[in-house]
Amino acid sequence: MATEKYQKGIVKIKELTSSTDENPTGFMDIGEGFKDIAPDLSQYVVEFAFGDIYSRPGLDNKQKVLTTITSLVTQGKPQIGMHIKTGLSVGLTPEEIVGCIIHLIPYVGFPSVLNALKVTQEVFNELGVKVTPSEG
Amino acid sequence: MATEKYQKGIVKIKELTSSTDENPTGFMDIGEGFKDIAPDLSQYVVEFAFGDIYSRPGLDNKQKVLTTITSLVTQGKPQIGMHIKTGLSVGLTPEEIVGCIIHLIPYVGFPSVLNALKVTQEVFNELGVKVTPSEG
Amino acid sequence: MATEKYQKGIVKIKELTSSTDENPTGFMDIGEGFKDIAPDLSQYVVEFAFGDIYSRPGLDNKQKVLTTITSLVTQGKPQIGMHIKTGLSVGLTPEEIVGCIIHLIPYVGFPSVLNALKVTQEVFNELGVKVTPSEG
Amino acid sequence: MATEKYQKGIVKIKELTSSTDENPTGFMDIGEGFKDIAPDLSQYVVEFAFGDIYSRPGLDNKQKVLTTITSLVTQGKPQIGMHIKTGLSVGLTPEEIVGCIIHLIPYVGFPSVLNALKVTQEVFNELGVKVTPSEG
Amino acid sequence: MATEKYQKGIVKIKELTSSTDENPTGFMDIGEGFKDIAPDLSQYVVEFAFGDIYSRPGLDNKQKVLTTITSLVTQGKPQIGMHIKTGLSVGLTPEEIVGCIIHLIPYVGFPSVLNALKVTQEVFNELGVKVTPSEG
Amino acid sequence: MATEKYQKGIVKIKELTSSTDENPTGFMDIGEGFKDIAPDLSQYVVEFAFGDIYSRPGLDNKQKVLTTITSLVTQGKPQIGMHIKTGLSVGLTPEEIVGCIIHLIPYVGFPSVLNALKVTQEVFNELGVKVTPSEG
């Protein structure tokens, strides 16, 4: 019953999360937890967000996740943590992830950036990721 | 009287805008137009935004401008046009710029994206930039 | 000492929350908890928000609460939970409440919607409300 | 080459805009103006926004458009004018549209509401729509 | 037919705008332009915003207008121009108005501040107001 | 190794927080907690936010903190609590702080104000600060 676009979306999620066939959506929240109140939601997430948009050419995966993280930091959304994991999975370095958030100071101000770094730090600690200090 | 950090900021702006020594800040608005009401403003823009933040390691110039554009699209700010020019100047392809904006649909919705594409289209038309259609 | 408009506001809140004379404001937070720092606040809530605006003709109660929920989801405010209760109280079905939130995906993106559905699910669970799956 | 979901989306747009077979998308902006830079955009608008989301059960058309208008007023987006036209097309009365915007004052403040009423007034004037004063 | 609170609001507006009895609301937009679609709107503006909130003790007029300007700059609302006029009318100096906007850079970023300074400059030019450069 | 501007920023923070030489930054979060992932962050906070912007003439300290609080309430940022402490430290009365937040109702709506008053109440309780009821 899964559409072709749904299959395409699942393939993309596997690629983004380096997940296995047993748990194809990996750590990505596709809205499965809302089956009781919105059973159609995960279909929109998989088909549209991943089957259509993330599968689109134009940007590579690292650029796509950097764009996602930037928008979530700008909006102050809690989903930033999950997408930092995706960023690491597709090959963004910890320095690039932190660099992207620090780069936003002149565009969103310090409070949004400090709140985002808190989440980043928690995810890095959870995964044992270290940032290599640069010679600024 | 210009500080070392100011000089560093100007060098970075020249790099970002491919500008000449005659007009070192190129098309970048550093707040010079507000000398009558806020004469210190351009110093903050040049020293902090460009001397500190844009000069920071961690991201390359293309990533920095992509991050800037994404935040401005998310916020609906008119400065997006100027930073699309910067993007083209540092080597982002038109496809990457459009790709970044389209990628934001699942994160900000259609209206913000349509408004940003309108500005993008105007800048591309002004500069004679063409987008090569992809084989989606 | 209560003004006529205050009385009108309380009558409206009773209608919206199906509350009793013993507890006329029911589950509606009218700012009573801030009597120590802003003793006049609940007067503004009751007189203006409920005596003026919610008492205005033009929309029926179901439309008014749907409008309230939509604005709170768009802004990501925690008050959404309380207003979902109001929605159920004035006769919005669980399907209409979820339908309104899902409808916002193209206008605010997935993260805001997922965050709102989490609150919705908690309220529905607390009240034992079930959503009837539709034949999409 | 149009997918089944695209056809479903076009049917929905025709229903929402009371448009004809000659001009099936009527006054609805589906992103056709961006064919030069984002040729795939209108497909996302039609398939996802209209084929998936607007075609979803749960809310009737009047509720869907009221939800759309509310979110756009809350965000201050210029698309509100187009969706006021859609609202009138699906049977929302001018009083309901104005009622929805005025209802938002306690949730977004006066400036956003005044800006939205300006657009509303322009659309009503363009279409010759009159608001019947109520006996508040 | 005007309520006591409406009268109180008009008195406050006269005080804020230094207006005359012939034109008591002066340059303040109280929503009179929407009599055709929302005849009750100006009552809410005058009674609630000015009769209740602006008439509240706690802050002096200069602090109230500074707070208003700050919120509008943070939100990017066009009403900032009108409230800069109010600020000058209640005795805020041009340096305080510009100082407030520049102070927001670390909290909202440069683009919002640059956009607000543009409006400020236009109002200052219109009124022939000069900023005295400080010895930073 | 600390720059002159950094020193200037630290002096300003001491002034704002009435802190001691042993703990010069007092209760102000300057991003020291992110030394592991963004060791340069606290330099930007101290040099730019405090050495440049808070050290700027134009507004007095009470006005600067009022502006900061207003912007944070408008954005719904959690940093409001820390800046309420700064406000009390520079001499804002509890009535001015509450007055500023209540004043925002017509500009941001009730939910943002209620959320900010909750944080205010917690800070006031923690510090044993009392609000003197006014004769509204």
The span from the CA of E70 to the CA of E92, in Å, is: 13
- Whole-model pTM: value is 0.97
Is residue E82 within a helix (H) or strand (E), and if so which, with residue range? helix E80-90
State residue D1's pLDDT score.
62
Q: What is the pLDDT of residues C64-115, one digit of tens each?
A: 999 999 999 999 999 999 999 999 999 999 999 999 999 999 999 999 999 9
Mean pLDDT, rounded, for B92-108: 98
What DSSP state is assigned to residue D93? -
Candidates F94, F111, F130; nearest CB to C77: F111
Contact (CB, 8 A) for E132 and E99: no
State residue D133's pLDDT score.
74
Candidates C31, C38, C78; nearest CB to F98: C38
State residue A20's pLDDT score.
87
| Ranges B43-57, B99-113, D113-127, F17-31: which has the least confidence | F17-31
Query: Which positions of chain E have pLDDT values less than 70?
Result: 1, 134-136
Q: Which two tokens stand for residue E103?
A: 């102070």
Candidates E98, E101, E105; nearest CB to B44: E105
B75 close contact with D: CB closer than 8 A = no
CA of C20, closest CA in chain D: separation in Å?
Answer: 25
CATH class of the domain comprising A61-127: mainly alpha
Contact (CB, 8 A) for B1 and E81: no
- CA E105 to chain centroid, in Å, comes to 20
CA of F49, closest CA in chain C: separation in Å?
Answer: 28
Q: At what angle do helices C4-17 and C61-75 cross, to 10 degrees?
A: 90
- Closest CA relative to residue B49, chosen from B20, B74, B29: B29
Q: How many CA atoms lie within 13 A of E72 on its CB side?
A: 26
State the Cα torsion A42-A46-A47-A49 to the nearest 10°. Answer: 110
State residue D2's pLDDT score.
84
Nearest CA in chain B to A131: B58
CA of B36, closest CA in chain A: separation in Å?
Answer: 23
CA of D12, closest CA in chain C: separation in Å?
Answer: 14
Amino acid letter for position E71: S
State residue C20's pLDDT score.
87
Q: Which two tokens stand for residue F90?
A: 């520079």
E53 close contact with B: CB closer than 8 A = no
D73 close contact with B: CB closer than 8 A = no
Contact (CB, 8 A) for E53 and E12: no
Amino acid letter for position B60: D
- Closest CA relative to residue B84, chosen from B99, B25, C49: B99
The burial class, CB within 10 Å (0-12 / 13-18 / 19+), for E33 is middle
H helix runs in chain D, sequence order: 4-17, 41-44, 61-75, 80-90, 94-103, 105-108, 110-127
ipTM, 2 decimals?
0.96
Q: Who's near B55: CB < 8 A, 6+ residues apart?
A: B8, B9, B12
Is residue F109's pLDDT more than 80?
Answer: yes
- Closest CA relative to residue E135, chosen from B40, C101, C34, D65: B40
C48 close contact with E: CB closer than 8 A = yes
The span from the CA of A69 to the CA of A50, in Å, is: 16
Q: What is the pLDDT of residues A63-91, one digit of tens each?
A: 999 999 999 999 999 999 999 999 999 99
State residue D20's pLDDT score.
87
Q: What is the DSSP string of chain B?
A: ---HHHHHHHHHHHHHHT--SSSTTTT---SGGGTTT-TTHHHHIIIIIIIIIIT-SSS-HHHHHHHHHHHHHHHT-TTHHHHHHHHHHHT--HHHHHHHHHHTHHHH-HHHHHHHHHHHHHHHHHHT--PPPP--
The span from the CA of E52 to the CA of F136, in Å, is: 9
Find the angle CA(C69)-CA(B104)-CA(A24) to the nearest 5 degrees: 90
Query: Which positions of chain A have pLDDT values less than 70?
Result: 1, 134-136
pLDDT mean across residues, chain C? 96
Q: What is the pLDDT of residues F47-76, one digit of tens each?
A: 999 999 999 999 999 999 999 999 999 999
Is residue B8's pLDDT more than 70?
Answer: yes
State residue D33's pLDDT score.
96
Cβ-defined contact of C114 to A29 (cutoff 8 Å): yes
State residue B2's pLDDT score.
84
What is the pLDDT tens value at each position of chain D, 136 positions in all? Answer: 689 999 999 999 999 999 988 999 999 999 999 999 999 999 999 999 999 999 999 999 999 999 999 999 999 999 999 999 999 999 999 999 999 999 999 999 999 999 999 999 999 999 999 999 765 4
Q: What is the pLDDT of residues B9-39, one digit of tens each?
A: 999 999 999 998 899 999 999 999 999 999 9
Is residue B77's pLDDT more than 70?
Answer: yes
State residue C29's pLDDT score.
94
Domain ranges of chain D: 4-53, 61-127
- Closest CA relative to residue B73, chosen from B87, B59, B60: B87
State residue C133's pLDDT score.
74
Is residue B1's pLDDT more than 70?
Answer: no
Residues of B in contact with E121 (CB under 8 A): 33-34, 36-37
Percent of chain B clearing pLDDT 90 (strictly above): 92
Mean pLDDT, rounded, for F14-23: 92
